[in-house]
Amino acid sequence: MILIFNVIKPGLLTTIQDLGRKGYQKYGMSVSGAVDHYAHRIANILVGNQENAATLEVTLIGPTFKVLETRTIAITGADLTPYLNNCPVPLWRSFTVHEGDILSFQGYRSGCRAYIAVAGGMDAENTLGSKSTDLISEIGGHHGRRLTKGDTIKATNVQANNEKCFARRLSIELIPTYTKNVRVRTILGPQEDSFTTKGIETFLSSEYTVTKDSNRMGCRLDGPTIEHKNDADILSEGLFMGAIQVPQNGQPILFLSGRPSVGGYTKIGGVISVDLPKVAQLKPNDRVSFEIVTLDEAHEKLRKQENIIKILQAGI
């Protein structure tokens, strides 16, 4: 165990996350984990970690850390203007921090969530097979909570200088661009027959605004009302990442990694896996619209993405 960061400022919401706590939704436990799986996985690959190694997820306003151990790190996802001492540092590229350095974020530019990976991964509370912080259950990560001033973050005990991972960078064509208006591909279901033809047409032809009540659990959206045939209530069933639930008021809720395990309202569709990072980077007042794709198209897009990931794992 190595002490890697001392928290000078915690930022708006900084938590330790991996790829989630799988297999416990049936017991009412949230999956949790990184909201943007792509940025999380790439950050780990850049520093030579396994994809599931814990990272720091930073939301909108970044933290300030004092570095306690020389180590290779990488920052991906939202551009919150990272600085090392008095110099800007690149996103989507590994670099070395040294003992005594100050890592900070100078202000928002684009996106919502950034990810900080440290070579070897974060050393954190492992609960039910995951280091992810579940803020509702208060388990995992750093004592089950967000970081606060004075916290000390630990990393695993690995060799600090890994020449293989020094100055790795992601090809520019693989770096996502975060905009305030996004269009995401969606598969209708599993309760699309609970909506009128007009309701489905409204869903697919409208733009929805992300409200201020959005968080790691999901994006609450505001826009034209999606019309049900009858009632919005169903028997409670499992909620999946990207599920678009429409309660009786006709305003959709797009669920993310911190979602509850079950929900009792109709779901009009689900965002396909490769477009979930776009949703993860939405912030209040951003706008989102939806288009239908087939399951075969979704599978093909996912296969293409995973093939790219495999190539990256082999060495950038």
The residues that bridge with 65 in the sheet, in sequence order, are 7, 103
Q: Which two tokens stand for residue 181?
A: 């208006």
Model pTM score: 0.95
Query: Which pLDDT score, from 0 to 100, does residue 158 have?
Result: 73
**In the predicted model, is pLDDT for residue 161 greater than 60?**
no
Q: Which pLDDT tens digit goes with each residue over 252-271?
A: 999 999 999 999 999 999 99
Could you give the CA distance from residue 64 to residue 213 in angstroms, rounded to a whole number? Answer: 26
- Bond before 190 cis per omega within 30 degrees: yes
Could you give the CA distance from residue 53 to residue 123 in angstroms, rounded to a whole number? Answer: 9
Could you give the CA distance from residue 215 to residue 223 in angstroms, rounded to a whole number? Answer: 18
Query: Which pLDDT score, from 0 to 100, does residue 313 have?
Result: 86
**In the predicted model, is pLDDT for residue 283 greater than 60?**
yes
Query: Which pLDDT score, from 0 to 100, does residue 107 have?
Result: 94
Amino acid 223 reads G
Could you give the CA distance from residue 93 to residue 21 in angstroms, rounded to a whole number? Answer: 28
In the chain, where does the domain assigned CATH 2.40.100.10 lie? Answer: 181-312
Could you give the CA distance from residue 251 to residue 206 in angstroms, rounded to a whole number? Answer: 12
Could you give the CA distance from residue 68 to residue 42 in angstroms, rounded to a whole number? Answer: 24
What's the Cα-to-Cα distance from 313 to each of 48, 51, 187, 310, rounded to whole Å? Answer: 8, 9, 29, 5
The larger pLDDT score, comparing residue 316 to residue 259, is at 259
The fold adopted by the segment(s) 181-312 is Cyclophilin (2.40.100)
Q: Which two tokens stand for residue 237?
A: 């069933």
Q: Quick one: how far is CA 19 from the chain centroid?
A: 9
Query: Which pLDDT score, from 0 to 100, does residue 228 have?
Result: 97
Residue listed under structure tokens 């996004």: 182
Percent above pLDDT 90 for the chain: 90
Cβ within 8 Å of residue 181, ≥6 positions away: 207, 286, 287, 288, 289
Cβ within 8 Å of residue 48, ≥6 positions away: 72, 119, 162, 164, 165
Cβ within 8 Å of residue 185, ≥6 positions away: 271, 272, 274, 275, 290, 291, 292, 293, 297, 298, 301
Bridging pattern class, strands 55-59 and 110-118: antiparallel
Could you give the CA distance from residue 225 to residue 166 in angstroms, rounded to a whole number? Answer: 51
Q: Radius of gyration over alpha carbons of the chain, in Å?
A: 20
Residue listed under structure tokens 């030579």: 48
Identify whether the C-beta of residue 46 lies closer than 8 Å to the C-beta of residue 74.
yes
Q: Which pLDDT tens digit goes with each residue over 79-111?
A: 999 999 989 999 999 999 999 999 999 999 999
Ramachandran sector of residue 60 (left: φ over 0; alpha: ψ -120 to 50; beta: rest):
left
